Amino acid sequence: MNDVLARFHGALEKYPAEEVVRVTGDRPLLDSALVDAVVTLRRQSGVDYASNVEPPSFPNGMDAEVFTAYSLRQAHNAARLPSELERVAPWMRRPGSGLRRANLPAVVDFSGIWLTVDYPDGFLMVRELVARLVVIRDNVDIIDILRCLQAEPALISTN
């Protein structure tokens, strides 16, 4: 079993922090402004866990989670299911966890769009999308990505 939760907990013990931001490497187009917005949501609301995935409304690949060190320790001590251990945050999202949660929703539901590099098709789609985006400007965001996909909907079907 791949206990990613234990690895996160071990990193927190070695490098103490008050909160942890979780993003994954298979999401190369992640908009840093979305990450900042989720961090701000957690801090301003005072919740234990905040994300933009509960329920999902942003494109898959724009996922960000932030949680307190306390929440990570609670999850590490209580999580037992393989799905809770290999994905880090599922235990935190369980209603029975007792954690206070908040979600940042998108204005429109874009959850059917996949912008991840989980499989070769995803890599090819992201590569094509990036090739089109670099002509826009150096620092693109989710709006630029969605506009490009609207202009070239065939790109979406490749992933």
| Same domain as 52, residue 92 | yes
Pick the last residue of a domain from 103, 128, 147.
103
| Same domain as 99, residue 31 | yes
| Same domain as 125, residue 89 | no
Give domain status of residue 115, yes or no. Answer: no
| Same domain as 125, residue 93 | no
Give domain status of residue 124, yes or no. Answer: yes
Q: What is the pLDDT of residue 157?
A: 75
pTM: 0.92
Q: What is the pLDDT of residue 88?
A: 95
| pLDDT tens digits, one per residue of 48-106 | 999 999 999 999 999 999 999 999 999 999 999 999 999 999 999 999 999 999 999 99
| Same domain as 94, residue 31 | yes
| Same domain as 145, residue 91 | no
pLDDT score of 138 more than 80: no
Do residues 145 and 133 make contact, with C-beta atoms less than 8 angstroms apart?
A: yes
Residue 139's pLDDT band (boundaries 50, 70, 90)?
A: confident
Residue whose pair of structure tokens reads 């992640």 in the numeric block:
30
Do residues 5 and 73 make contact, with C-beta atoms less than 8 angstroms apart?
A: no
| Same domain as 142, residue 79 | no
Residue 141 and residue 118: Cα distance in Å, rounded? 21
| pLDDT tens digits, one per residue of 98-132 | 999 999 999 999 999 999 999 999 999 999 999 99
| Same domain as 61, residue 128 | no
Give domain status of residue 113, yes or no. Answer: no
| Same domain as 84, residue 48 | yes
Q: What is the pLDDT of residue 101?
A: 98
pLDDT score of 1 more than 60: no
| Same domain as 152, residue 83 | no
Give domain status of residue 109, yes or no. Answer: no
Residue 125 domain boundaries: 120-157
Residue 127 and residue 64: Cα distance in Å, rounded? 22
Q: What is the mean pLDDT of residues 130-158?
A: 86
| Same domain as 66, residue 135 | no
CB under 8 A, 24+ apart: contacts of 137-144:
141/31, 141/33, 142/31, 142/33, 142/34, 142/58, 142/59, 142/62
Q: What is the pLDDT of residue 2?
A: 86
Total number of domains in the chain: 2
Q: What is the pLDDT of residue 6?
A: 97
Give domain status of residue 112, yes or no. Answer: no
| Same domain as 13, residue 69 | yes
Give domain status of residue 38, yes or no. Answer: yes
Q: What is the mean pLDDT of residues 4-28?
A: 96
Q: In what order do the strands lie in the sheet with 19-22?
A: 19-22, 65-68, 49-51, 101-103
Q: What is the mean pLDDT of residues 13-28?
A: 96
Q: What is the pLDDT of residue 159?
A: 67
